[in-house]
């Protein structure tokens, strides 16, 4: 009888522990943090496995509820990853649009005066700020887009540098003439 009573007490404690665990998993569904969800559900699964047996008449219902909650959490995790992937793709497309915008700015008419160069420089710096604020992208695609963007910007600043070197040379020659 003592063995049977201690077994019933253990089954009852395990039932209560698993019931609390099911409630925690239900509350976990409200979370929107993917990493937190993944980490916590793994801990809960381990706790579920570590907790002993429950009364036979309640086992099947508990197991099904655990499986359903586990599936819901996994679907939520997959949904959040899908949203994140979609956001990364949108950021990538936006950055590609900024590259095209920068190319149009640069490959238009070449500025002839310092004022025009400063206006185009200011516009390009605004595009660069937009690019920085556009958000993260997929690592590999982001690196490729960044390389293209840097090439576009570098070509602009190289042309600007050439213009100012030529202007400096002209100013030096004019100064020599005046002297």
Please report the pLDDT score of residue 124 as a whole number.
92
Running along the chain, 179 residues long, what does each successive block of 10 average in pLDDT? Answer: 86 93 92 90 93 90 94 93 92 93 83 88 93 90 92 91 90 91
CA distances from 54 to 26, 33, 48, 179 (A): 20, 32, 11, 102
Please report the pLDDT score of residue 5 as a whole number.
87
Please report the pLDDT score of residue 7 as a whole number.
87
List b or e across 106-137, with b for residues whose CB sees 16 or more CB atoms inside 10 angstroms.
Answer: beeeebeeeeebeebeeebeebeeebeebeeb
Q: Which backbone phi and psi does 110 adopt, to 5 degrees?
A: -80, 130
Please report the pLDDT score of residue 31 as a whole number.
87
Please report the pLDDT score of residue 112 as a whole number.
83
Tell me the C-alpha distance between 132 and 167, whole Å: 32
Q: Which two tokens mark 119?
A: 């206006």
Tell me the C-alpha distance between 82 and 94, whole Å: 18
């Amino acid at each position: 009888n003592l063995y049977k009573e201690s077994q019933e007490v253990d089954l009852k404690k395990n039932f209560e522990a698993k019931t609390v665990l099911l409630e925690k998993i239900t509350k976990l569904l409200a979370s929107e943090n993917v990493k937190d969800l993944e980490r916590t559900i793994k801990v809960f699964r381990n706790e579920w496995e570590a907790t002993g047996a429950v009364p036979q008449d309640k086992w099947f219902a508990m197991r099904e509820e655990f499986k359903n909650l586990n599936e819901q959490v996994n679907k939520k995790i997959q949904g959040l990853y899908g949203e994140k992937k979609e956001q990364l793709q949108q950021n990538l497309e936006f950055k590609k649009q900024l590259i095209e915008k920068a190319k149009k700015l640069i490959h238009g008419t070449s500025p002839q005066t310092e004022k025009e160069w400063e206006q185009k420089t200011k516009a390009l710096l605004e595009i660069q700020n937009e690019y920085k604020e556009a958000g993260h992208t997929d690592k590999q695609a982001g690196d490729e887009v960044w390389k293209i963007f840097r090439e576009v910007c570098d070509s602009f600043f190289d042309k600007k540098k050439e213009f100012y070197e030529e202007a400096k040379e002209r100013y030096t020659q004019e100064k020599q003439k005046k002297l």
